[in-house]
Amino acid sequence: MVTASHGTLSLDQTSAYPLAEGGAPLSLPGSGVRGRIGIVFIHGFTGRPSSVAPVVKALNERGFSVEAPRLPGHGTDVKDMLGTRYTDWREHVRRVTLALSEHVDAIVVAGLSMGGTLAIDIGTLCLPKVVGIVPINAQILDRKGLAVRFAPFIGKVMPLAPAALAGLKRNDVKKPCVDEHAYKSTPVLAGHSLVEALPLVREQLPAIRVPVLVVRSREDHSVNPANSIALLRSLPNAVVSELVLENSYHVATLDYDAELLIDRITEFADQAGNVRVARV
């Protein structure tokens, strides 16, 4: 058994812009029997680690070793994202996962929104010690609309666009007075790189052979729940379970069902990592 004591593995990047509030990555060593299980928890597009921090910290309090990286270009200034693409975010998560694997015996990769897409994508790589995937309100279907279709042209004349133009609703949280601290505008070409990656992500889904817990909010104003339903039907080689959140919108990690989410991820990680914890 390995008990993690890794310190900081988040592999944070240098930036010309200072970290914004909640932009710092989280690197939390585990303890006890669960310390040998690592959880990589990925925030969403234009978001930052603080959007998943309550769930991350609660999982760490239960003993898990948890990494919540800051994706390149995120958590600083939106102009920092202009030169980044989906491949940069994917590679960063891959590196964080591999670094954590040196300190734990098993890893669950979880993510919110685009973070969920990245978690799925990482699951197709069959990395050592990855034993489970938890996508939360993840995008896997092609996004529709003229703005998406003409994004390569729009991006050349208008690098930054209002989030609503991309079909994104900021602070899509049912709980009142909650700020996810996402960027107020969207880097058009960076966002389009995610759209371009989705067909390949879908094509590679049969490569996932570890258990998957698909989490979706019943009501979501940013990513249609049809994405999670389609994902459930597209994993022929994985043991798949589903959690439907009845009292949360898109940013479920900051919403009313957060405690339920923490409980189910705990149960899933215990089973995937083959850990037995005495129940009181």
Query: What span, in angstroms and rounded, lies between the C-alpha atoms of 61 and 40?
Result: 15
Q: 112 burial class (0-12, 13-18, 19+ CB within 10 angstroms)?
A: buried
Distances in Å between the Cα of 272 and the Cα atoms of 57, 127, 245 are 20, 15, 21
Annotated catalytic residue within 105, 220, 255, 270: 220
φ, ψ for residue 112, nearest 5 deg: -105, 130
To the query of whether residue 103 is one of the catalytic residues in this protein, the response is no
Sheet holding 240-245, edge to edge: 26-28, 65-68, 37-42, 106-112, 130-136, 212-217, 240-245
Element (H, E) at 111: strand 106-112
Q: What is the SS3 assignment for 41?
A: strand
Annotated catalytic residue within 250, 255, 257, 270: 250
Annotated catalytic residue within 10, 113, 185, 228: 113
Q: Are strands 160-162 and 212-217 parallel, antiparallel or unpaired?
A: unpaired
Nearest CA-CA partner of 30 in 40, 43, 44: 40
Is-contact 268 213, C-beta < 8 A? yes
Is-contact 175 145, C-beta < 8 A? no
Q: How far is CA 64 from the centre of its chain?
A: 17
Q: How far is CA 8 from the centre of its chain?
A: 19
Q: Which residue has the tokens 């925030």?
A: 43
* Pair of tokens at residue 269: 């990680």
To the query of whether residue 250 is one of the catalytic residues in this protein, the response is yes
To the query of whether residue 6 is one of the catalytic residues in this protein, the response is no
Residues with catalytic roles? 113, 220, 250
